Amino acid sequence: MYDAPFYRGSAKLQDMVSPLMGGDSGIGRAVAILFAREGANVAMIYLKDEELDAEVTKQGIEAEGRKCLLIASDVSRQKFCKKAVERTVKEFGALDVLVNNAAFQVHTSRFEDLTAEHFDETLKPTFMVISTWRWPPPGK
DSSP helix/strand/coil, 72: strand
Q: Is the pLDDT of residue 134 over 70?
A: no
Using CB atoms within 10 Å of the CB of residue 95, give its burial: 0 to 12 exposed, 13 to 18 middle, 19+ buried: buried
* Between 66 and 135, residue with greater pLDDT: 66
CA 47/CA 16 separation, integer angstroms: 24
pLDDT digits (tens, 9 = 90+) for 9-44: 999 999 999 999 888 888 999 999 999 999 999 999
Please name each of the domains of the chain with its CATH number. Answer: 17-132 (3.40.50.720)
- Determine which of 46-55, 65-74, 121-130 has the lowest per-residue pLDDT on average: 121-130
